[in-house]
Structure 1
Amino acid sequence: MHPFTQFGMVFSVASWYKGSLFFTLFILLANALVCASVKVSGDSIVPDARPHIIFLLTDDQRADALGVMGNPVIQTPHLNAMAKDGYLFRNAYVTTSICSVSRASLLSGQYMSRHKISDFSTNFTEEALANTYPMRLQKAGYHIGFIGKYGVGNRPPSDRFDFWSCWDRGQPPYWLKDGAGKDVHHTDSVERDVMRFLDEYGTQATPFCLSVSFKAPHELDGDPPVYQVQERFESLYEDISIPAQPNGGEEAWKRTPPFFHNPKNIARKRWEGLFGSEEQYQANVKNYYRLITGVDEVVGKLREKLTRLGIDDRTVIIFMGDNGFCLGNHGLEGKWFGYEESVRVPLIIYDPRKPIATPGDIQEMVLNIDIAPTILGYAQVPIPPSMQGMDLRQVALHKQPTRPDFYYEHTFMGSPGIPKVEGVIGSRYKYMIYTEHAYEELFDLDQDPYELNNIAADEVHVQRLKQMRERYALLKQAAQ
């Protein structure tokens, strides 16, 4: 005889017992319970009530590139509806505005200073990977999937996921070949994979966490870079004139740090290729918006699929951008620096269990490092001490305060291509120091929301500058 343990009870199984009807029925019942994904509480057996979780990430989408955030041009009806029924975080930021570093922060819940991924080739260590939200959810019994662009390191952990359909290294192209050799836009390819995942895992009782990373609206790198959109969106916004950026003129460019004016400045070179003329500006901002509308279409189809599967009432959806983007702001194209357009991103959390009476418009300052602990919180998985972010469920439900400011860091490449910058971003004051040049910026966002007047050298603000320097040193050390 040997012991057989299941659901907290021990049975002694003899050879004569195996042929009995009771044994057969018992095995069928045990298998059915395992397949149904049950949780055991004492002597009772209850269905797994933990929600499914879907995390949607766009690439280079700035905070105001969303209808519900006040953009009068862009068409994002499905995201608008999700924000209206869920939680809209109006002041969401990233701690480092560049793809790979921000993605590492999203997965780990850590500042770059702690996870140490500051470029495009460094991978998570085994220990660090084990503490990312997908791996911790898998250990807790979740099925996990990843679709689109992984974007961290050069050895993605594809074999660790139950479902994996990713462009493993660097930026994927916009046009891919499907199994029949036909061209498929990356956004449409992501949609197909999402539906495949849901067909397989959305019909099971075991909860899942699916991470979906779009290429859109990132430009296709080149000289000059370009935007490639689906044919069905090519005429969208055709008869609309895109308003000029309030801080996008020549005067704003003149007010940037003097070392920005080096001809090797990547942000300026890309500006010349995409936004250097009015014709370029109109064409490329529209293409940027078209790519986001394409993502919005996928969000609508995703929610329809969840409804057809009957799991829309137990699926939490989180939508965010990996970093912001300057559409000619300050005479620049791209991200990297601490400007508002670069560091602010959209963030929506849709929880179908949200109490109707709970306000969904959230003004608190939240960060990309908050996503991992929030996902773990929804899954009822303990948040490891290594994570530096917050569980945003408490902010949304109970209006728990978050933080008055945060540490910003961007150290990739360096001058003259992308000058290194660190600092403190607060709700009113912003302090940036370009560490290679010892060049300081201080902005009063209440009086100067477009960051056109650097008051760091103003004698009136000597005390404020001193306070921000001290706060910078304190937050930098705490981010380690």
Structure 2
Amino acid sequence: MQRTLIIIALALAYTCAALAQETKRPNIIFLLTDDHRWDALGAMGNKVIRTPHLDALAGRGILFRNAHVTTAICMVSRASLLSGQYMSRHGINDFNTDFKPGALANTYPALLKKAGYKVGFIGKFGIGVKNQPDTLFDYWAAKKEGQPQYELVNESGRIIHHTDSVGKDIAQFLDRFAANDAPFCLSVSFKAPHELDGNPPKYPVQERFRALYENTPIPDPLTAAPQYWDSLPAFFRTDQNIGRDRWKPLLSTPELRRQTTRDYYRLISGVDEVVGNMVAQLKNLKIDQHTIIIFMGDNGFSLGEHGLEGKWFGYEESIRVPLIISGGALPKALRGRSSSQLALNIDIAPTILAFAGAPVPLDMQGYDLTAVEQKKLRPRKDFFYEHTYLGSPRLPKVEGVVSTDLKYMLYTDHGYEELYDNAKDPHETINLAKRASKKARLEAMRKRYVELKQEVK
């Protein structure tokens, strides 16, 4: 009898401990890469790049195969990530504007801090310069500058690569906050694989990665062929276009294109190494089963497609990004899943808040991605795209609608339209906007564009 009572007591204690573990709020780590296109990941089918640790995260979590950003430029996208809002609502559209106090209070780090989380930020903040919100965070490891250098000088006077510096700060944060009674939310922003701006721009990689991919064949993109650049309208097809200007020193010959792609991949492999070290540390600290990890790119990047380098415009290379939600705290029913839902950068903030059990402000325009996976919400069918920074000739302004199969883009200063059937033409080689047979589809997308443009304000 006594032995039976002991067994029952132990079982009850185990059950209570398990229930407490389930109800305890998870730690959350959000990892952001800079200029990381959707297919520069092994898990997304890239046969060249080596990203074993990110691929493993994808295998243990949710891999979103149809993730996009609502504006493909760093400061706007980062503001959207933090606020859960389109640019038309948060209003940050240049490199000097920062969050006003009221808007900052409704970003996910501020809301989680109010809810009792310890919050940290590491890397490139990318919004404003002078008034970056370092005092909001319990841990801040970011210089107040628009674009950090790759080669940094550490406290010992030695040069350290930005990616390695981010890795050291992650390790320091985890050592400091892992044993804290409060859960934490750490936001990490790598500079990689963004180019180092200059004349010419460069891709400084760590010494240990310089031989990686050296003898690996790099295929040329289909739309790198000259006829695709030549088919673009005259207002766009100018050497003053930033995408073309930066194409010249990095991608204008097959040799340059292969070298640049290799260096771009090397920087991403450097990030992958940091992710692997972080996951191992979480396990050593025994908090891996109580942590959510979200990985995303702030925008995509053209590596010669359409005769361009960079992002900005509405092409798939520019607006599609990798997205993974993983970690031991992810519900078991959601692990090992490949999702086709149309996921956006504005969904990150509400998804993070949902994991934390914190209320989502009504002015957030995204939604909890896991609720869609659990069939609690319907997936979106389309979204509004907007990029209005600078304007012609440097960066022609473009707005449009992206649906699950069609894409409509309007260069607003010129009245020039593009219509692509991405289901049949994934490389966007044929502009259907002037084809009489596609008039009904064009009209439907025009109408939807007008509707969404009003909705996002």
Please indicate the TM-score interval, normalised by the length of the shorter structure. Answer: over 0.9
2:47 aligns with one of 51, 67, 72:
72
Match of 1:210 in 2: 186
Correspondence 1:222 to 2:192: no
CA–CA separation in structure 1 for the residues paired with 2:407 and 2:275? 34
CA–CA separation in structure 2 for the residues paired with 1:424 and 1:348? 24
CA–CA separation in structure 2 for the residues paired with 1:460 and 1:105? 37
Correspondence 1:337 to 2:310: no
CA–CA separation in structure 2 for the residues paired with 1:69 and 1:256? 29
Contact 2:303-2:310 within 8 A present in 1 as well: yes
Match of 2:213 in 1: 237
Contact 1:146-1:161 within 8 A present in 2 as well: yes
Contact 1:48-1:207 within 8 A present in 2 as well: no
Q: After superposition, give the CA deviation of every residue in 1:122-178 in whole Å (9 maximum; x if it has no partner).
A: 111111000000000000000000000000112100011100001222110000000
CA–CA separation in structure 1 for the residues paired with 2:308 and 2:21? 56
1:310 shift after superposition: 0.6
Residue 423 of structure 1: SS of its match in structure 2?
strand
Structure richer in strand, relative to its length:
1
Match of 2:16 in 1: none
TM-score under structure 2 length normalisation? 0.93
2:301 aligns with one of 305, 325, 329:
325
Match of 2:254 in 1: 278
Match of 2:101 in 1: 126
CA–CA separation in structure 2 for the residues paired with 1:61 and 1:193? 21
Contact 1:101-1:119 within 8 A present in 2 as well: yes
Match of 1:438 in 2: 415
Contact 1:62-1:345 within 8 A present in 2 as well: yes
CA–CA separation in structure 2 for the residues paired with 1:308 and 1:193? 17
CA–CA separation in structure 2 for the residues paired with 1:229 and 1:476? 41
Match of 1:411 in 2: 388
Q: 1:353 to 1:201 in 2, by over 3 A?
A: closer
Residue 235 of structure 2: SS of its match in structure 1?
helix
Task: Read off the aligned partner of 1:175 and give its amino acid letter.
Answer: E
Please say which structure displays the higher CA radius of gyration. Answer: 1
TM-score under structure 1 length normalisation? 0.89
Match of 1:390 in 2: 367
CA–CA separation in structure 2 for the residues paired with 1:51 and 1:389? 21
**How many residues are paired up?**
436
Correspondence 1:257 to 2:230: no
2:328 aligns with one of 352, 362, 386:
352
CA–CA separation in structure 1 for the residues paired with 2:319 and 2:22? 42
CA–CA separation in structure 2 for the residues paired with 1:447 and 1:111? 28
Gaps of 5+ in 1: 1-44
Correspondence 1:314 to 2:287: no
Residue 385 of structure 2: SS of its match in structure 1?
strand
Contact 1:76-1:296 within 8 A present in 2 as well: yes
Give identity over the alignment, percent. 56
Match of 2:86 in 1: 111
Correspondence 1:302 to 2:249: no
Residue 474 of structure 1: SS of its match in structure 2?
helix
RMSD: 1.4
Gaps of 5+ in 2: 1-19
1:356 shift after superposition: 4.4
Match of 2:159 in 1: 183
1:447 shift after superposition: 2.2
Match of 2:397 in 1: 420
Match of 2:73 in 1: 98
Residue 53 of structure 2: SS of its match in structure 1?
helix
